[in-house]
Chains A and B, each alone.
Chain A
Amino acid sequence: MLYAILCYHDEDEVESWPKEKDDAVIAKRAVVTGKLAAEGRLGPVARLMPTTAATTIRTGREPFVVDGPFAETKEQLLGFYVVDCPTLEDVIETARQMKRDESGTFEIRPLRYFDPGAPAK
């Protein structure tokens, strides 16, 4: 079974960590993920940029774009895509095409770090 582990934390607080603290947290986790990677059991790993870098596409009659993160509590996180686009304009257009004739919300967030990983088939 493949599982996603989603990370939540208070962004204000994480941003106020000194670099050493941040590095220490990453290093501590790498002990676990390093073992998984060696066994071919680690898929993509991504760290997102802060929510201030987010753009959200909501559904109206036409999908419309607003600055800022997804902030509803009525909807739940159901999945994600990682796409490579040269500009925000491109990724918005891509997301619009995917979303055509659908309800729900897409939040677009640039990645700060990405490792594609290599899970065994």
Chain B
Amino acid sequence: MTDVAWINAALTAARPQAIGALLRRFRDLDQAEEAFQEACLRALKNWPLNGPPRDPAAWLILVGRNVALDDVRRRRKSETLPADEVISDLGDAETDLAERLDHSHYRDDILRLLFICCHPDLPATQQIALALRVVSGLTVKEIARAFLVSESAMEQRITRAKQRVADAEVPYETPGAVERSERLAAVAAMIYLLFNEGYFTSGGTAHIRATLCEEAIRLVRLLLRLFPGEPEIMGLAALLMLQHARTPARLDADGGIILLEDQDRGAWRRELIDEGLALLDKAVRHRRPGPYQIQAAIAAVHAHAARPQDTDWAEIDALYAALERLQPSPVVTLNRAVAVAKVQGPAAALAMIEPLAAKLSGYFHFFGVKGGLLMQLDRTEEARIAFDQAISLANTAAEAAHIRMHLDRLMRDSASGAAVEAPRR
């Protein structure tokens, strides 16, 4: 690998820990980011000459601190900055750098940084944008492209989000056990949203969507390394990996959505499926089920089926029933109905979703599933009405195209299933 490529990979990997530590030091997000940026610039100059440091994060934190201190001094006295060589030449200092830096804090530093990004005062889209900018280090331009807004609009959105979290004053003391687990849950929810943004709803190109999903997986791996014994974090990681494994088979050449049952399962990414299954296995050992673990178990049933007709729908029905008990929501019931249709037939499924009509009257997928079930029952006219409603509620052109395709397909073959892949929010 070239120097620059190697250094960029190391800087990206070190980013959450370094910014987290600098944030604890400066208690200001902008200042922490600036110090990190400056440290990165110095790394790009220094590392190719002196070789990579043993602990890149520790190097960046120390240099970031020094740079910021110099900055303060310069502002105070208008002193000239010391030469780069003086600052960058850590020499012997680096030998015991790892010891001198307070590593016991790093877990809470990263968690705090992530938690600040998903502060409850922020709307979901701002949480994701802030995390992508601050933690992942994506450029404003890249984030703007993912959300299909202009760069200046995204810049504003991120600035506003930063202002809000600054006003919210997240405490810097080491959190207690309860607070830590609350932060962990909030961060997990944000990572889940980030993944779904890439997987289901983002209007950007396939490349941008994949980037969001991969960032979500990178963050959940990070979280798992910090909290290795949390079954729900294992479950979330498994869920994201099992779903992302299908990415190469999910879209056709024109960017249209391919239904789960029509996907080329040979194109699924085997290594991600295996890792997801291993993590789910680890989680289940704890006997502390939770919504992410159950959703991962559902994804695992699909992963185990070599062909769509091998899918264990009774198992999926049972898992959704468990999810309904744990986290009752009309969307969960709607998803369960898809499994019920396979096990008990469309009439039972339709009876199950009819009571949801009032709550889901603005939900695209409700009418997609309803139309599919009516179609199977040969109630063609009602099905067409439901599909029309679905199309009118579609959030993206791809969703509308998806339903039209579904409609065409059911017109051709009214006996086939009605699996509409819906995000489980």
Contact = CB atoms under 8 A, between A and B. Distances in A.
B229 A110 contact: no
Given A16-B218, A52-B221, A88 B13 contact: no
Contacts of A76: none
A111 to B, nearest CB: 9
A66 interface: yes
A26 B200 CA distance: 33
Contacts of A105: none
Interface in B1-23: 1, 5, 9-10, 12-14
Contact of A67 (B271, B275, B282): B282
Contacts of A67: 228-229, 234, 282
Interface string A70-90: 000000000000000001110
A15 B5 CA distance: 14
A44 B282 CA distance: 26
B275 A50 contact: yes
Contact residue range for chain A? 20 to 34
A15 B224 CA distance: 14
A92 B10 CA distance: 34
Given A16-B218, A21-B1, A110-B274, A52 B224 contact: yes
B274 A112 contact: yes
A51 interface: yes
A66 B225 CA distance: 13
Contact of A68 (B13, B229, B278): B229
Contact of B275 (A13, A21, A53, A69): A53
A10 B55 CA distance: 10
Interface string B77-115: 000000000000000000000000000000000000000
Contacts of B281: 87-89
B334 to A, nearest CB: 32
A50 B234 CA distance: 13
A13 B10 contact: yes
A17 interface: yes
Nearest to A21: B1
B294 interface: no
Given A10-B13, A112-B275, A88 B285 contact: yes
B420 interface: no
Given A12-B13, A15-B218, A16-B218, A53 B225 contact: no
A112 B271 contact: yes
B257 interface: no
B221 A15 contact: yes
Contacts of A89: 281, 285
Nearest to A88: B281
A3 B275 CA distance: 28
A49 interface: yes
Contacts of B188: none
B146 to A, nearest CB: 18
Nearest to A49: B275
A49 B285 contact: no
A53 B282 contact: yes
Interface in A37-58: 49-53, 55
Contact of B279 (A15, A16, A52): A52
A101 B229 CA distance: 26
B13 A110 contact: no
A16 B225 contact: no
B228 A88 contact: no
Contacts of B224: 52
B237 A16 contact: no
A110 B273 CA distance: 12
Contacts of A69: 228
Given A49-B274, A50-B275, A89-B285, 9 more contacts: A12-B13, A16-B12, A51-B225, A53-B275, A67-B229, A67-B282, A68-B229, A88-B281, A88-B282
13 contacts: A10-B13, A13-B10, A15-B218, A15-B221, A49-B275, A50-B221, A53-B275, A53-B282, A67-B229, A88-B282, A89-B281, A112-B271, A112-B274
